[in-house]
Structure 1
Amino acid sequence: MKKIKNILLVIVSMVLVLSLVSCKKKDSDKINPPKNPTGTIDDSDKTEKDKAAIMKDFDNVLKTNDLSKVIGFIDDNIKGLSQIEGDKMVLDLEVALEEFLNPTMDSIFKADPNGELINIAESDLFFPKEKIKDIESETLKNEVTKLMENKYKLINLEGSFYPIIDYENLKQYNNYVSDEIKEYIEIKAIDSNSPVVIDAGLLISYDDLASRILKVENYIQRYSQGQKHEEVLRLYRSKLALYLGGADNTPIFVNDTKKIKDDVLESYKKTLNTKDSVTAHIVNKYVNLIEKNDFIINTVVQDEVVSLVNEALSILEVSK
């Protein structure tokens, strides 16, 4: 179970966890979230006093530790608030969803001792909502229904279904939050809809992984002083390390020859041509190292991955 929980945490951080001075963007190109966002959504009928009262009530609802009540309160009140309050509500909801992840998992396991979910969905990566009606156990059916209403979904890991946050579902609040949080949810939704790694194996192509890395880098550059900067920076670290080093069950080299795989090298070459990108700079250095090593991936190459990733992070921090 400890192994499975660790896998779950990796996916969640990734579902269920950047440029040289020469390529640094002009300061005017950065978009840092304003200290006092002026954009609001239909807040003409609510005074600042009204908003303060709503947010105080929201804090009290959070203390109930009842996800259904928290989500219901947000749904009933977020429309008339500014983006400042909208951001807080959605980010606080995310924290609550993370905190209740393990208790939710325990409830599902307790309600499904005989593996009914896997018998119904079989090899599906996610448990289909339309198959809830096929669950015979009323207790389990109620748990799965509540889980999905509370913005989780179930993912198939090693023959059992585990809950993860359904970030796609959080997009319903896009009209009421800042661009920074909207784009953050989009990044997280991409991974929750299509996990990068499961069971130490890469589930997407290297080109797709590169695309996600560049999207994350762009976010970091645009919101260098943003609320989710540190978390997205960690996400960038893990994705870049995976892109350069490969996964245990998806190495970047051919096992018998240790030569880099053609599709991986081609992906690297595409990525290094990306303009104004710290990732491109790092990948270019990595490809030069691989070429000097006759395209063989051994400790000479692999030992450089950590330092290259750290270099990318250092450049990103300097460019804030």
Structure 2
Amino acid sequence: MKFGKSAITAAALIAAISLQAGAGVIHAEEANAATNTVSVSTAASAKAAHANAIYNHMMNLLKSPAKQAEAVSYMEKNIYQVTPYQATLMVLKLENAEKAILDAWNDKFFKDSIQTKLQKLMKPGDDLTALIIKTNDKNLKALLKGARDSGYRLETSEGMYYLVLDYPRFQKVRAYVSADIKSYIDIMTAETKAPFANDAALSISWTEVTKRSLSQEAFVKSFPHSNRTAQAKSLYSQYLNISLYGLNNTPMFDYDTKKVNAKAKAALEAAVSKGDPSNSDYLKKIKGFLDVLKKNNDVLTPEVDKYRKAASGIK
């Protein structure tokens, strides 16, 4: 079949128009993609700038002890808007700030007038919020509210009332920090809710002693380079000593008979039985302790004492 010149010209024109239209679609798609990329990039930059602004404001608040309560509240309300790295630093720096002025806060609580008021006011189970509600003393109410809002909680021991860091409160921001600090918050929350000692006596069960020892050991093993590894090691050392010595008013061995505390021994045996001494330095030491105990009929002898000194590092 032969085509006339006009038909060929028309066909060429149609092809050219088609190609130009196709090129236009391609250029439009490329332009849209570029626009979307710019939009995403702009949004990411804005988000990063917002996170930086929140973080920097938090750091500025922490420079002033008088603004610590404001810093606590600000962090709890805004931590979800920063990066996990920034959130972790916010938590750690707040903890540092709370520790730095804890003694100054306790000096206020150690005044005889405050201790007397607390003795009359406080009942078992009361926390700072309960005391704030109960008291009509404006000055005391302001002191209690300031302590609570600044990140502290009230404890009592040997007839004295004093403040400690409110680690359970850090659970509010736990979801936003790094894995090691999540674990650290959990360890310190357990310590705060149920301190291991009161009046030089063990205030938790021997089973809980072994449980916490293993948790602290696991933290050190899992996060050897964490910013809070040193604190976990220190706590673990205390618990290892308790596991071998007990406390002054809850000794591992009876002061008169030198016989081992039966409940303590049972808890140590259960921990070794359920765990793996080959994979835990703590359990390995406890197993060795139990072995030397058995050899000495569960009595504190020079051999037993020598072992626990070596195991705990006491000279």
2:297 aligned to 294, 299, 305, which one? 294
Aligned to 2:38: none
Considering Cα pairs closer than 8 Å and 6+ residues apart, tell me whether 1 or 2 has the greater RCO. 1
Q: What is the CA-CA distance between 1:179 and the residue it aligns to?
A: 1.9
CA contact (8 A) 1:207 1:267 kept: yes
Question: What is the identity, as a one-letter code, of the residue corresponding to 1:285?
Answer: G
Question: What is the identity, as a one-letter code, of the residue corresponding to 2:75?
Answer: I
Question: What is the identity, as a one-letter code, of the residue corresponding to 1:71?
Answer: V
Query: TM-score scaled by structure 1?
Result: 0.77
CA contact (8 A) 2:69 2:151 kept: no
CA distance in 2, matches of 1:151, 1:144: 11
Aligned to 2:88: 87
Question: What is the identity, as a one-letter code, of the residue corresponding to 1:73?
Answer: Y
Q: What is the CA-CA distance between 1:120 and the residue it aligns to?
A: 1.9
1:281 and 2:308 matched: no
Cα deviation, 1:68-121, whole Å, max 9, x if unaligned, reads: 132133234311111100000000010011111111111223484461112222
CA distance in 1, matches of 2:246, 2:157: 20
CA contact (8 A) 1:126 1:153 kept: no
Aligned to 1:115: 116
CA contact (8 A) 2:272 2:286 kept: yes
Aligned to 1:106: 107
Matched residue SS, 1:85: helix
Cα deviation, 1:162-207, whole Å, max 9, x if unaligned, reads: 0001110111001211121111101000010000012211001111
Q: For this pair of structures, how many residues does the alignment match?
A: 268
Residues 139-158 of structure 1 mapped to structure 2, 5 A cutoff: 139-158=139-158
Aligned to 1:172: 172
CA distance in 1, matches of 2:178, 2:49: 21
Aligned to 1:243: 243
Moved more, 169-178 or 298-307: 298-307
Unaligned runs of 5+ in 2: 1-42
Q: What is the CA-CA distance between 1:287 and the residue it aligns to?
A: 1.0
Moved more, 156-165 or 50-59: 50-59
Of Structure 1 and Structure 2, the greater helix share is in: 2
Aligned to 1:317: none
Cα deviation, 1:106-140, whole Å, max 9, x if unaligned, reads: 12234844611122225x37646323322232111
Moved more, 163-172 or 73-82: 73-82
Cα deviation, 1:274-306, whole Å, max 9, x if unaligned, reads: 122221111011111212222112443234324
Query: TM-score scaled by structure 2?
Result: 0.78
CA contact (8 A) 1:126 1:155 kept: no
Cα deviation, 1:24-51, whole Å, max 9, x if unaligned, reads: xxxxxxxxxxxxxxxxxxx968543443
* Alpha carbons of structure 1 residues 46 and 265: separation in structure 2 relative to 1, 3 Å: farther
Percent pairwise identity: 23
Matched residue SS, 1:272: helix
Unaligned runs of 5+ in 1: 1-42, 312-320
Matched residue SS, 2:247: coil
Q: What is the CA-CA distance between 1:146 and the residue it aligns to?
A: 1.7
Question: What is the identity, as a one-letter code, of the residue corresponding to 1:120?
Answer: L
Could you say which structure has the larger radius of gyration? 2
CA distance in 1, matches of 2:213, 2:103: 28
Residues 199-278 of structure 1 mapped to structure 2, 5 A cutoff: 199-273=199-273, 274-275=275-276, 276-278=279-281
Over the aligned positions, Cα root-mean-square deviation in angstroms equals: 2.2
